[in-house]
Structure 1
Amino acid sequence: MPVTVSDLPRIVRQLTPHISTDYNLPPLHGIYLEADGTHLFAAATDRFTFALTRREAAEPEPWKAFLAHADLTALRALFPTRRRPADLTLTHHRGCTRTPDGRLTIGDGTRSLNLSANAGHAKKFPKWRKLFADALAAEPHQDAEACYNADFLARWAKATDRWQPLTTWSAGPGKPLLVAAGPDFLGLHMPVSQPEHRPETPARQRQDRTALRTVWADTLTPAAPARRLKAA
């Protein structure tokens, strides 16, 4: 039974910034898909950030697949994101002697794309449920500075529409930043390890809040008005 998704190109756009660029890690060099009977999940990670999104999709038989880099190139060419949203169907075909990895067919009623389901890569994709469950269960707690890579922070811009806000929580400076965009998109962003734990990093690069207050005190503290002498 095919799964119908109206915005698959948008899902690909949301997840693409989080795909690993390391060709030596094939299970991370693409987008993971999973149908569990009620939802279609899609995820991507390079181990520094992890993005997960879902769409409601009735599918009686669970399946997993993986869209490799070449598959995504073909998908973008056939169903470009600049086109208006249209229903696309994803049909998973079990593996057989000729295609042990199974097949995935993506179509819009007039055109279709036949791809390997890449079952081997899908099987090796990180177990995402516990990671996100633990992050959601942890109570927000931030009592010390946390460091984040600015380039990685920019990845989350693709998660939302132009005016949709991101919501973030953190269970502590050493814990992943939990990112949410609406009810169907979650992300995890690992912090940069603190400089004091990395001998090769100069201590002056640490952005300590107390030190920053001292450095900026003269600039941010309003100058007292000059006192004027009154004539006797």
Structure 2
Amino acid sequence: MSVTLNAHQFGRLLERTAGHIADEFIPALHGVRLEADDTFLYAIASDRYTLAVARYRHHGLDGEPFARTLPARALASLRRWAADQPGNTPVTVSLAENRLRFTAPQGEVGVDDGQEFFGWRGVLRGVIDQVPAEDGTTSPFPALDTRLLARWTDADHYLRLRVTADRQGALLVGEDFIGAQMPVRTRHDGFGTGLADDLDQVRTLWDGALAGAPAAAMPDSLPAARRTPHDAARTVPETAKGLLRQTLSSTHDLIEESSTSPTAVAAHASAGVTAWMAFRYL
């Protein structure tokens, strides 16, 4: 039971979902779920208020589909291990003796899997299939916690957003990514009491500031921001900075691992040398 993908895409799966992990007080959600079927490797994380799912089309499933939870305690070291591999390095994710194993040509990591996970597919199906209220008296106007909105930063540069009702989850969709955010359902201790409940209240509250201004779109003369793919640096200095950081990080790890694992030493040395060569090339 194994799948193979490159190190860059494996790291991206973890990066896009790690921010949605629940804290240690919810053990069943304190980690990232990895699931593999015949086509994709999925990474899933949730803190009950947000749910994020990223996927990548792998290079083939060897054996039966599998699903295991990667505990949060192992996530930092695994992300560092993936970052130390050259981006095109094949990484095999396998399940053996109830342990998740991550294997690359220059090293291997084994992790005991964590808690059982909830039925995330059904939750997202419910968010996708939900429809607005049929009475047509109100427009969808849910209150969203902005502290949770920040968790979508690593998902993609652009996400599509769909809302259907005040008390239904908002749907967020990107490239090979889907997620949901639950609305704020209650107000307590004065929190949120100043929030407008509907668009008519918004118009009333802001009428003085906006009165007399005709409705208009954003001016076409404003320049659009240049966006590059998430796996490409924006500038040469930014790339150089990242390569130097990788060189220092790998050198530190090389010293730390020098007395424990020859395989890890070789992996850190190779990653550091590769980063330094690329920096010198620039």
Q: Same fold (TM over 0.5)?
A: yes
Structure-2 residue corresponding to 1:181: 174
Identity of aligned residues (%): 27
Tell me if the contact between 1:40 and 1:56 (Cα under 8 Å) persists in the aligned partners.
Answer: yes
Amino acid at match of 1:156: W
Deviation at 1:8, TM superposition (A): 1.0
Counterpart-to-counterpart distance in 1, 2:179 and 2:38: 22
Tell me the SS of whatever aligns to 1:88.
strand
Deviations along 1:182-210, one digit per CA (max 9) or x if unpaired, are 2x210010000154xx5x33674122332
Structure-2 residue corresponding to 1:206: 195
Tell me the SS of whatever aligns to 1:205.
coil
Mapping for residues 150-229 of structure 1, pairs under 5 Å: 150-160=146-156, 162=157, 165-182=158-175, 184-195=176-187, 198=188, 200-201=189-190, 204-208=193-197, 209-222=199-212
Structure-2 residue corresponding to 1:117: 113
Counterpart-to-counterpart distance in 2, 1:87 and 1:43: 21
Counterpart-to-counterpart distance in 1, 2:151 and 2:85: 20
Q: How many residues of Structure 1 are paired with residues of Structure 2 in the alignment? A: 204
Deviations along 1:153-211, one digit per CA (max 9) or x if unpaired, are 11111101x4xx210112311000010012x210010000154xx5x336741223322
Deviation at 1:85, TM superposition (A): 4.9
Tell me if the contact between 1:89 and 1:106 (Cα under 8 Å) persists in the aligned partners.
Answer: yes
2:74 to 71, 74, 82: 71
Deviation at 1:144, TM superposition (A): 3.9
Tell me if the contact between 1:146 and 1:194 (Cα under 8 Å) persists in the aligned partners.
Answer: no
Greater helix percent: which structure? 2
Tell me the SS of whatever aligns to 2:167.
coil
How has the CA–CA distance of structure 1 residues 3 and 148 changed in structure 2, closer, same or farther, with 3 Å as cutoff? same
Counterpart-to-counterpart distance in 2, 1:83 and 1:140: 47
Counterpart-to-counterpart distance in 2, 1:51 and 1:201: 30
Structure-2 residue corresponding to 1:137: 129
Deviations along 1:27-52, one digit per CA (max 9) or x if unpaired, are 21110011123221210000000001
Mapping for residues 20-169 of structure 1, pairs under 5 Å: 20-21=22-23, 23-57=24-58, 58-59=60-61, 60-80=63-83, 84-93=87-96, 95=97, 102-118=98-114, 121=115, 124-139=116-131, 143-160=139-156, 162=157, 165-169=158-162
Amino acid at match of 1:210: D
Tell me the SS of whatever aligns to 1:32.
strand
Tell me if the contact between 2:140 and 2:163 (Cα under 8 Å) persists in the aligned partners.
Answer: no
Deviation at 1:82, TM superposition (A): 9.4
Amino acid at match of 1:13: E
User: Which has the higher mean CA deviation after the structures are superposed, 80-89 or 144-153?
Assistant: 80-89
Q: Point out where structure 1 has 5 or more consecutive residues left out of the alignment.
A: 96-101, 224-232
Q: What TM-score results when the alignment is normalised by the length of structure 1?
A: 0.79
Counterpart-to-counterpart distance in 2, 1:222 and 1:66: 56
Q: Point out where structure 2 has 5 or more consecutive residues left out of the alignment.
A: 214-282
Structure-1 residue corresponding to 2:21: 19
Deviation at 1:90, TM superposition (A): 0.6
Counterpart-to-counterpart distance in 1, 2:40 and 2:112: 21
Tell me the SS of whatever aligns to 2:19.
helix
Q: What TM-score results when the alignment is normalised by the length of structure 2?
A: 0.66
How has the CA–CA distance of structure 1 residues 104 and 194 changed in structure 2, closer, same or farther, with 3 Å as cutoff? closer
How has the CA–CA distance of structure 1 residues 185 and 140 changed in structure 2, closer, same or farther, with 3 Å as cutoff? farther
Tell me if the contact between 2:140 and 2:166 (Cα under 8 Å) persists in the aligned partners.
Answer: yes
Tell me the SS of whatever aligns to 1:130.
helix
